[in-house]
Amino acid sequence: MGGFLGGVLLVTVHGEMSVTLSQYLQAHIADGVALFGVMMSVNGMTVLLLQAPLTRWTERFSLFRRLVAGVLLMAAGEVGFAFSAEWGWFVAAMIVFTLGEILIIPAEYAQIDQIAPPRMRGTYYGAQSVSELGNFPGPWAGGLILSAYGGPAMFLVMAALAVASLAFYGLGRRV
């Protein structure tokens, strides 16, 4: 259950990034819509170029350590968004955020491989996809925070949620 709640929090953070980040950029950064397009392209290119080598390099570390590193990178990316004012800083923060994604997603699936009995793997993977429920509160909460307190506050709250997910992953690890 802990890993599930940790996953929901991380999907919440990711959902905020993919929806309310664009709203913030459009309203507060010159040519923000174009910047968002560049950032999404950088996200995709970073995954394509670095996923295989980074995943291979991190295999020497435990799954939990990879997860912790990924969460901290994702949170650092959110903090970067909060304090960015220029295109270059936003793009750099997106690269950091994406490196976190690259570490988190394979680690989550590898954990399922470790805990699931072979004949139940499909069921476990199906249950893990329920964490996609986080796609609802991310944009919703992000939008509320954005309209009430502004972008920097929204990004910092999402960074805190990412870090809070580690508590749930830690609980799930004990079970």
Going from N- to C-terminal start, the domains of the chain cover 2-174
pTM for this one?
A: 0.89
Non-local (6+) Cβ contacts of 39 within 8 A are: 21, 25, 90, 91, 94
Mean pLDDT value across the chain: 86
Helix/strand/coil for 14: helix
Q: What pLDDT is recorded for position 93?
A: 98
Q: What pLDDT is recorded for position 12?
A: 79
CATH of 2-174, one of 1.20.1250.20, 3.40.50.300, 3.40.50.11540, 3.40.50.2300: 1.20.1250.20
pLDDT higher than 80, residue 146: yes
Is-contact 55 106, C-beta < 8 A? yes
Under DSSP, the state recorded for 116 is: S
- In this prediction, residue 19 has a pLDDT band, given cuts at 50, 70 and 90, of confident
The amino acid present at 29, given as its one-letter code, is: I
